[in-house]
Structure 1
């Protein structure tokens, strides 16, 4: 399959909207809020499914990027939106850390949002510019031990799962590294490609296009086993660091009280859109995703586990949002 760029995804979304004036007449626009800046994997996933949702829901679907405060600004907008089936949240794994990360959060993630679907996940990976010396996680650990605080890594922000994974790595290996938080995966990639940061931790989804293009090189993955698409990339466990697993995930939520038929309709539309052969290939090959497409209860159960796991890391290390 030819490589599908974000520009192509945007073009498809625009073409769908322009080609469907009749759809507009059938209903008001449906808004999918992405609480991060454009350029990251969450934005790409939202724009990838938007055309299919437009076709299946009978109304134009608009992606609304509302970045800031570790994703809490956009999430708050959805939590306070009318539960009428017109506003939805498509967010990233850092959603699980919001309550622990921001003590004065203006909403309650558990009480004010209803789960809709766990779309899927992708392992976190470490990547660097090809001319950097890191070829394995062992190289990073040895460099950090030899020169404490001089090895730098980028993430998508304080308290994100990538950052917390590196906090755990430093604790397990008794090393100190310098963390550079960015507002999105796209910005972290840009500085890593430019060599302004030694390496970055990000989902395989956001890193893969640049690895394929030769501007980044991956050297470790944090999944429980090797991702089939990254079969030559060792896991951290294979390097001798056990129990340090981290996978990115994307989930969809609705304002609390959204009618169950509306939630069920969105869940079904998402499954159909994601099951389209071209969309599925893009998710699996370009986004490096393992599709799950859960029911609402499945996302709720999964989120409880993530909140318990990563919230503890935030509290134990006194981490706060940017």
Structure 2
């Protein structure tokens, strides 16, 4: 199972839990191969070009779709080069402001972005990341004066947010959770259509006045295109069983996500919707890539 990010991060940890559970269920070892770089494209390309026999898989995240939206010259087709196997879980992002900004809610963020001469800035884990395009969607919907500042990973982005050198971060829950618990930052909104059970007092962006904002991050498994349906179905059962059991289920819930049980076809439909959504954001003439 190729993880298209470096070892040690939250995605890698979930993938390793899935791999261990699959090993038990399939009766053969499932080994993690970390191939980070190019926003996940290096690892994805390895799987796209692998033999379609079920022995090489991609542990994909929402960045698989967002990166494809901003990189039109990828060495693979994000749909035709892959066979969806199963979605594991999905959860909201959190909109977090720097303590130095002083904003207590989304209305104050928008007011600051529109009234300050240079507006506000927002950070991300890199161009094409879910943080980047979520921030872009917010900027486009609110018509706010905001500048994107990419970093090489969520860790450096978080450091800059806490220091006050950047104003906003559309962040995954695992990235910011320790700092929320320590009271170093405050979550202003969640990006999903419904409030998170982990943060029941935090409003959705729609509730906060940004209509139609429904964004989640997700995890799933893809196989090379052309993998036989019987193999896809066997892998789907093993992955769904793994995601519904501990430790994966508890890990997802702890990080504010919902475990998901899907068929390969249903995952393919969701992936198509994700690609269409992010391509629309990326095609906006004011889209920032830097």
Q: Could you tell me the TM-score, scaled by structure 1's length?
A: 0.81
Higher-helix-fraction structure: 1
> Within the alignment, does 1:135 sit opposite 2:104 as a pair?
yes
Distance 1:194 1:77, change over 3 A: farther
The alpha-carbon deviation at position 213 of structure 1 amounts to 4.2
The alpha-carbon deviation at position 223 of structure 1 amounts to 0.8
> Within the alignment, does 1:306 sit opposite 2:271 as a pair?
no
In structure 1, how many angstroms separate the alpha carbons of the residues matched to 2:181 and 2:247? 19
The alpha-carbon deviation at position 305 of structure 1 amounts to 1.2
Residue of structure 1 aligned with 2:258, choices 283, 286, 290: 290
> Within the alignment, does 1:152 sit opposite 2:118 as a pair?
no
In structure 2, how many angstroms separate the alpha carbons of the residues matched to 1:38 and 1:210? 22
* Counterparts of residues 17-166 of structure 1 (less than 5 Å): 32-38=1-7, 40-130=9-99, 132-166=101-135
Specify the alignment match of 2:202 in structure 1: 233
Instruction: State whether residues 148 and 175 of structure 1, in contact with CA within 8 Å, keep that contact through their aligned partners in structure 2.
Output: no
Q: Could you tell me the TM-score, scaled by structure 2's length?
A: 0.90
Instruction: Report which stretch shifted further, 55-64 or 79-88.
Output: 55-64
Specify the alignment match of 2:225 in structure 1: 256
> Within the alignment, does 1:244 sit opposite 2:213 as a pair?
yes
The alpha-carbon deviation at position 261 of structure 1 amounts to 2.9
Q: Deviations over 1:145-175 (max 9, x none)?
A: 2224352221122233332222232223232
Instruction: State whether residues 119 and 251 of structure 1, in contact with CA within 8 Å, keep that contact through their aligned partners in structure 2.
Output: yes
Please list every run of 5 or more consecutive structure 1 residues that lacks an aligned counterpart in the other structure: 1-31
Instruction: State whether residues 165 and 244 of structure 1, in contact with CA within 8 Å, keep that contact through their aligned partners in structure 2.
Output: no
RMSD: 2.3
Residue of structure 1 aligned with 2:181, choices 212, 221, 229: 212
The alpha-carbon deviation at position 197 of structure 1 amounts to 2.5
In structure 1, how many angstroms separate the alpha carbons of the residues matched to 2:98 and 2:141? 25
Question: How many aligned residue pairs are there?
Answer: 290
The alpha-carbon deviation at position 138 of structure 1 amounts to 1.6
In structure 2, how many angstroms separate the alpha carbons of the residues matched to 1:119 and 1:51? 15
In structure 2, how many angstroms separate the alpha carbons of the residues matched to 1:188 and 1:307? 25
Please list every run of 5 or more consecutive structure 2 residues that lacks an aligned counterpart in the other structure: none
Instruction: State whether residues 98 and 166 of structure 2, in contact with CA within 8 Å, keep that contact through their aligned partners in structure 1.
Output: no
